[in-house]
Structure 1
């Protein structure tokens, strides 16, 4: 944030970015509006705007990716500093301004005024090398595939539950063997029609008890009408195929991301921290520019695992972790600590100490995540492997 917070009251150009056009609102050092107009989302129009604003102007956007990418790249090409005002901050700031209309013009005005008066609300827009940017793009696609698979798993379970609850309870839609069965045979009654031998052949590798339990569940359930069976089987087959494809693509993308980052010092050092695997290490490397955080407390706040402090007079209270921050990183940092709960290292001992003080499992995990984040911060800052 160092370059964005310098000197206060410098000219600010707020951009409410859009797909076809952006609204530009420029405030001079005296707070006067110098520019207030729409700008087409084209290189030529953006270059013309940035050539007119003057050297030293800070360009502030409300989206740093996708539709905000072109304004950021052209502003940098023009030699201007760029900062990012998160959407939640812009939304909260808009309440301080008169009126409640939601227009591009008003939003650009809010962005510019907030950047001028509250520079601490801004986040940097770091320039990344090609490998990191490619990894970020692939990670977004992987997340999309995981989301698609989760949605299809929920739909698959809904269909199976309505048809044969006992069979649905045994199905694991993350297991390739079960997906192979469902994609080939359909739901419970498609399995029954194919016969036990076909089912067992497709479930090869699974324990005999699992196959027997599934067959018993089908045999002990009442078959619905044939119309329902004919409607169910094609849906189950299609969903199972889509889940398999999405999971395979997510795995391929994970491997490609790891390959892109294998020469990155930060990524390699993060892998030495207990409980940090390739997925979490890649997310941290891609999402965090550690130079933007002066200490681990600021990083914890950004990740949403720092407690909110409340003070009134002589009373000081630390309450639950803030609900703000990067929810994705927060979930990764907390859930990756599950692997530490029974470990013999310092984090496992700390987890057990927290439970001994009366914390529930979730609270103890958050406490461990906060403690481990201090290590993560030091490792990323120094690019040095973790030493117990």
Structure 2
């Protein structure tokens, strides 16, 4: 939903949303400020405000979830159209307005003024689908757990690196067997103290040569002071346990999300696209309302995989990677193309042709992601499975 100038000639109510209260700025079609005051983040206060505006008033918020959820719900309950001005766009637009103060009052005026003067900057707020809403909530928790797990893995590696670098180089904190060993025994010196037999019992089914190499690396390294070993072991065990719990919970959430989306036609069709698995398909189905994008170029810009052209007369002319867009979708779309590098399909061939033209691996992956996004757009628009 990109509004045209003619569609945005009605009044605009800009809301700079907050946890306890929002600041409301109502601009008339002539640009006059009709309302400029705070409003509590309660149903009664919002309903009272919305009852005072015309039925054609466009309500614009700068956040669509969390603190922005209640204003959107009450605006829709009042029958008012709703749109979304991303915070980064509002921040950039604020430079066009007088002053440089950072206040809720000025932010609300910037939101309303930008919506009035630059309606193309607005994004749609999709109608709430209960299944998608539930899946989005679970996906948000999954992403939080992935972030926490990554942080704990980095902390675990840091501790092992400081204690025994040769041992750390052979440890895989994403491997359930290694996590079991570290949780049960502790760091490298506790593993050596437990003995090779205890270590082998906890690593059944693993690569024996790799495990033996890790054991030998710890056994042949210089042991630090005993006080350091005693301080290290409980921390290693705790981190390994938290990583293992996070991985298990992420796997459970992935199954729940897939179950919620199994009846969703868009999700099912996305699963047929090469290189797209359940996680990427669910993120795309949850995050993108395809009706809001008139063509694949707009979608590529939103996802951050569209190249950025730079030109200034004849002195500068270049094409670089864009740093804008949805970074989570951008990373998913690019990294999921790794599985296509050695494939014999059209995307694998395109990757190899990009490398033959002198692109590095990362540049070629981005190019493949951009090419594949055209297919993703068509699949989501038509709700039709991918056909090679």
1:226-375 correspondence runs (5 A)? 226-312=226-312, 317=317, 319-375=319-375
TM superposition shift of 1:8: 3.0
How far the C-alpha of 1:315 sits from its partner, in A, is 8.6
Task: Tell me the CA shift for residue 214 of structure 1.
Answer: 1.4
Partner of 1:47: 47
Cα offsets for 1:198-220 (capped at 9, x unmatched): 11101111122122111110111
Mark the CA change 1:326 to 1:2 in structure 2 (over 3 Å): closer, same or farther. closer
Aligned counterparts, 1:201-240, within 5 A: 201-240=201-240
Between stretches 213-222 and 303-312, larger displacement belongs to 303-312
1:96: how far off?
A: 1.1
TM-score, L = length of structure 1: 0.98
The alpha carbon displacement at 1:242 in A equals 0.3
Tell me whether 1:185 sits opposite 2:212 in the alignment. Answer: no
Q: Deviations over 1:211-247 (max 9, x none)?
A: 2111110111011111001000000000000000001
Contact conserved, 1:3 with 1:81, CA < 8 A, in 2?
A: no
Matches within 5 A, 1:72-111: 72-111=72-111
1:66-96 Cα distance to aligned partner (Å, 9 max, x none): 0000000000000000000001100001111
Task: Name the counterpart of 2:143.
Answer: 143
Match of 2:67 in 1: 67
Q: Secondary structure at the match of 2:276?
A: coil
Aligned partners of 2:229 and 2:165: how far apart in 1?
Answer: 14
In structure 1, stretches of 5+ residues that fail to align are none
Q: Tell me the secondary structure at the aligned position of residue 39 of structure 1.
A: strand
TM-score with structure 2 setting the length: 0.98
RMSD over aligned CA atoms reads: 1.3
Q: What is the distance in 2 between the residues matched to 1:281 and 1:317? A: 36
**Residue pair 1:4, 1:58 contacting (<8 A) in 2 also:** no
Q: Does 1:157 align with 2:157?
A: yes
Q: Residue deviations 1:80-131, cap 9 Å, x none? A: 0000000110000111111111110010011000000000000000013111
The answer on whether the counterparts of 1:93 and 1:110 sit within 8 Å (CA) in structure 2 is: yes
Aligned to 1:56: 56
- The alignment covers a number of residue pairs equal to 388
Residue 318 of structure 1, CA deviation = 5.1
Structure 1 CA distance for aligned equivalents of residues 47 and 4 of structure 2: 21
Q: Secondary structure at the match of 2:386?
A: coil
SS in 1 for 2:96: coil
Residue aligned with 1:157, SS: helix
Is 1:121 matched up with 2:121? yes
Change beyond 3 A, Cα 1:318–1:37: same
2:19 aligns with: 19
Q: Aligned-pair distance for 1:356?
A: 0.6
Runs of 4+ in 1 over 4 A off after TM superposition: 2-6, 311-318
What CA distance in whole angstroms lies between the structure 2 residues aligned with 1:330 and 1:42?
A: 36
Would you say the 8 A contact 1:261–1:282 is kept in 2?
A: yes
| Counterpart secondary structure, 1:379 | helix
Partner Cα distance (1:77, 1:5) in 2: 25
Deviations 1:6-27 (A, max 9, x none): 5132100000000000000000
Cα distance in structure 1, aligned partners of 2:4 and 2:138: 29
Q: CA deviation at 1:309?
A: 2.5
Change in Cα spacing, 1:333 to 1:5, as seen in structure 2 (3 Å) is farther
8 Å CA contact 1:167–1:188 kept in 2: the answer is yes
